[in-house]
Amino acid sequence: MNLAPNIATRPLLVITSDDGLTAPNEAFVEAAKKSGNLKIEAVHVPTDHSCSDHRIALQQTVLDELIRLTHK
């Protein structure tokens, strides 16, 4: 959380899953937003930590974010 201001100008993609780490990651997203980060995207995928049954969706999410970043 303390490092959120250090990356306030960097685009961030935070992908969470049903692995028990969603709450701390959501708190980080909020800390980044409070630090002024306007380039943050948070996505939750209802799967395990490895995205075992959602690998294509994970890939598409990353590709969509990269495309979004290159068109700004």
Q: What is the pLDDT of residue 72?
A: 67
- At 40, is the secondary structure helix, strand, or coil? strand
Q: pLDDT tens digit string along 43-64?
A: 999 999 998 999 999 999 999 9
Q: What is the pLDDT of residue 64?
A: 95
**pTM as predicted:** 0.83
Interval 37-41 mean pLDDT: 92
Structural domains of the chain, count: 1
Confirm if 24 and 17 have CB atoms less than 8 A apart: no
